[in-house]
Structure 1
């Protein structure tokens, strides 16, 4: 194992695992450690992380509120694409990793660190996301992944290491945790332990941000979301910052049991995993964005976006946010959003967020064209005859051949 590292920046949550990693790095690499803790809206008090780092002898401690940057520069661009991995997952964990990696690399440069380190395990996707992002931003950076190097492969060994090194072990961590949780302003993700059997329904206590739809209010709630250039800018007429807007939608969605997902997904590293996701605000936002696009995007543009969306979503899931192909797709997507502006009205009710109205100064919807009543004559019904004949020509030719073959001719 290389010992030529003098200083490393660690993505530090303040929890047991990353506290163990902090101590392990100092012992194994005999290096200085800088800690970086990001506030991405996970809803936890971050000052305890500072106190734990100080207690472990760390003098360079970075704790940063990145909520606005997270939503503005990562979540919103992703939602312009209506991105869903495997058709349902809103990529809440995936989209947070490139921002964390970005700050790790920037702090490493600012502090003269040789390397960055993360606490992702060798079985998951996050190791790929952190490291591909770091290499894209600084090709010469060293990345340390303790879970791929050490022999602390069980909860028992981790706790033994912690006790041997005077690292406080929370009482609820003595033994097997019921499941693990990753959270940020976009979502919560729970997996492992009690969730590992995909045939068994997740216990109620797994859900943290949403009420059970059965227990949600019996009266629907109607809200209006305003858009400019594809991004949400207001809720019920109140202009809000990106992070404040998503926070508001989370509150609304959580109250009505919106955004729950029980998913068995295909990890990039090759295995299937079962996760419980809650994305209340994001689920509302996706429905609203598709609603405003329905009247402002041309058919060709809308269908092209739907065609490239799975590829775009897969790039994010696989940790390729900083890849040239994602940037190319983003440029195309952003071009499509120039006139995606207006208001969408949604009805929230017992787990659902349904669009019930949409309006835009750039609407392509023409009531005169679609009305069943007498219009102004801009659409001539007779034009459809030639249109159908031309489109039917190849089908008639194809059908005639099938009939010849069926008759043995």
Structure 2
């Protein structure tokens, strides 16, 4: 402890991180600087700087990282088509390396010896924060209070806050553990801890309930360049602005709700509810454009690596050499994924209506069911015979072995 004179804390202003701020100053007798990252959570950030200072911070950073988050973290992940366990679009997972990167930058600029976070010892976030710090600044120490202190309940945390005069007016008790950013909003806890329970309506905040969503579909056109979305309905937007606008449009139609049980990296199963309106639309639309523009063998090779890439993100290995190597392949594969996709949004569903691209590999003359002059159907005979050679040999060997 004596070597730690200054700590940079990932600070939200909620109950946990407010208590951690005070606890660090007492337990480590050190200077604490807070870092609050705005990733599009749309929570009230005004006043957080003053709250941090009044709770004991020597300095408080409140940084708008929305464009960086969308451009340098969300979009590369979308180019890779990353989905964890077939459903989860990794909204919380991809936010952690972005936040941790900023923590490290501030620690280096301020001459801090350590960073700290409010992740518990049961979750994935502790791994993501700490692996990022190890990859970017291995000399920094990491303080994880939930793995050190003796407090084990919300009641004990509130008692600590009262004892030390920590203002909790803005930290209302919530039934859920909630994480929100430009890509998604997640809910855990409450009735969700029983996988059989239906999620309460309170476990949603960015998507309209299906029963209340508009009855008429809305058609949206999305332009892509090299796998990245760049425009909606012909209007070019920055990465963050595009995510925000598409979240509003898709959320209005109830698009992007997922209720699932997943495997945490630490070894336990966890049930959560996720809302990913823009991400759901972009994933489907980009995938459809790939069908038009991406070579078959490139696509199949890329697809075989999607789960591995998703695990890199989920497990916290964003800054690992294997993720960077995979990213190079994903970006190469996406070089021709340029064009426009037209989708229909209605009652929680996304349906592709059409797609076009200057890099289209689709040849109507080859695919037509009408008469053509470019394809000799008789050529398929030899192709099929060659494909069947090994099957004939396998069948012959089985029959001989059974005698």
Pick the TM interval, shorter chain: over 0.9
Post-superposition offset of 1:261:
0.5
Q: What is the aligned counterpart of 1:347 among 337, 344, 369?
A: 344
Compute the displacement of 1:199 (Å). Answer: 0.5
Regions of 4+ moved over 4 Å = 171-174
The 3-state SS of whatever aligns with 1:41 is coil
Residue of structure 2 in register with 1:159 after alignment: 158
- Equivalent position SS for 1:391: helix
Q: 2:282 aligns with which of 281, 285, 302?
A: 285
Residues 263-322 of structure 1, C-alpha deviations (whole Å, 9 max, x = no match): 100000000010000000000000111011111100001111110000000110000000
Q: What do the CA deviations read for 1:238-275 (whole angstroms, capped 9, x no partner)?
A: 00000000111101111000000001000000000100
Deviation at 1:171? 8.3
Where does residue 250 of structure 1 map in the other structure? 247
Q: Distance in 2 between matches of 1:215 and 1:287?
A: 23
| Cα drift, residue 172 of structure 1 | 7.1
CA contact 2:191–2:199 (8 Å) conserved in 1: yes
Are 1:387 and 2:372 an aligned pair? no
User: What is the distance in 1 between the residues matched to 2:153 and 2:211?
Assistant: 38
Alignment partner, residue 11 of structure 2: 12
Q: Equivalents in 1 of 2:195, 2:120: separation in Å?
A: 21
Deviation per residue, 1:199-232 (Å, 9 max, x gap) = 1101011110001112211111111000001100
Match of 1:366 among 363, 372, 375: 363
**Corresponding residue for residue 264 of structure 2:** 267
Task: Give yes or no for contact 2:15–2:171 (8 Å, CA) kept in 1.
Answer: no
What is the TM-score with the length of structure 1 in the denominator? Answer: 0.97
**How many Å separate the matches in 2 of 1:171 and 1:336?**
47
1: CA distance, partners of 2:235 / 2:162: 51
Is residue 398 of structure 2 the alignment partner of residue 402 of structure 1?
A: yes
In the alignment of these two chains, the number of paired residues is 403
Indicate yes or no: 2:184 matched with 1:183: no
Alignment pair present for 1:68 and 2:67:
yes
Deviation (angstroms), 1:404: 3.3
Q: In structure 2, which of residues 222, 226, 231 is the aligned counterpart of residue 225 of structure 1?
A: 222
Deviations 1:374-397 (A, max 9, x none): 12x221111101100000000011
The answer to whether 1:120 aligns with 2:116 is: no
> Does the 8 A contact of 1:38 with 1:63 survive in 2?
yes
Whole-Å Cα distance in 2 between the matches of residues 26 and 308 of structure 1? 45
Contact 1:260/1:279 (8 A) holds in 2 = yes
Contact 2:16/2:118, CA 8 A, preserved across alignment: yes
Counterpart in the other structure of 1:321: 318
3-state SS in 1 of match to 2:344: strand
Q: TM-score, normalised by structure 2?
A: 0.98
Any conservation in 1 of the 2:14–2:170 contact (CA below 8 Å)? no
Tell me whether 1:239 sits opposite 2:240 in the alignment.
Answer: no
Structure 2: how far apart are the matches of 1:164 and 1:66? 34
- The answer on whether the counterparts of 1:233 and 1:239 sit within 8 Å (CA) in structure 2 is yes
Contact 1:6–1:31 (CA<8 Å) still a contact in 2? yes
In structure 2, C-alpha distance between the alignment counterparts of 1:187 and 1:359, rounded to whole Å: 28
- SS at 1:98 equivalent: helix
CA RMSD in angstroms comes to: 1.1
Partner of 1:144 in structure 2? 143
Q: Does the aligned pair in 2 maintain the 1:233–1:240 contact within 8 Å?
A: yes
Greater Cα offset, 46-55 or 310-319: 46-55
Query: In structure 2, how many angstroms separate the alpha carbons of the residues matched to 1:350 and 1:51?
Result: 43
Q: Extract unaligned runs of 5+ from structure 1.
A: none
Residue 195 of structure 2 corresponds to 198
Give the match for residue 374 of structure 2.
378
Q: Assess, with a 3 A threshold, how the Cα gap between structure 1 residues 248 and 268 changes in structure 2: closer, same or farther.
A: same
Tell me how far apart the structure 2 counterparts of residues 105 and 234 of structure 1 sit (CA, whole Å).
Answer: 33
The Cα shift of 1:173 comes to: 4.2
